[in-house]
Amino acid sequence: MSITPAELTAGTWTIDPVHSQVGFTVRHLMVSKVRGTFGGFAGTIEIAEDGAPSVNAEIDVTSIDTGNDQRDQHIRSADFFDADNHPTATFASTSVEADGDDYLVHGDLTLRGVTKPVTLTMEFNGVNPGMGHGPVAGFDAKTVINRKDFDIDIEMPLETGGTVVGDKITITLEIEAGKPAA
């Protein structure tokens, strides 16, 4: 039995970067959060004839924007993303399961050349017939990773304890994907 909502018909649904956002938050100075987005990303959701979904996505980590150019340059450096050597992060789903009204999307995240399993908690927002170009579907998803798991292990200790940058990174996805009209 398929766990895919009936509105997600078989075929390829392509992420629309104009109507989607990939973002993150991380603790800063142990008391607040820095937020950022990635401007460059792409991906597909494949729905097999039996309803089984598969998700593949790429994020251009060089497209990071936290609202501060100096910080963005530092995050691209070898201290964090090492974007010169690893300009792309990828996600490939391995399975999807229902979780009440939501879904758990299990998969492999590769960041900075390190691949680890992660689970996205996903909310399906429905399908709209679109505006004459084929149906569009909406999704919100979230996961929390530990930056050290991906060899982002820079330590900038504070005199009062803790570090400048927290270990936990919350990744949020607001996705609109379209399927060309048949």
Is residue 65 predicted with pLDDT exceeding 60?
yes
Label residue 116 by pLDDT band (50, 70, 90): very high
- Which two structure tokens, joined as six digits, stand for 10? 């078989």
pLDDT of residue 1: 39
Question: 51 or 24, which is more confident?
Answer: 24
pTM value surpassing 0.75: yes
Distance CA 93, CA 67 (A): 30
- Placement of tokens 């938050």 in the chain: 25
Pairing of strands 21-28, 165-178: antiparallel
Domains annotated for the chain, with CATH where assigned, are 11-178 (2.40.128.110)
pLDDT at 28 over 50: yes
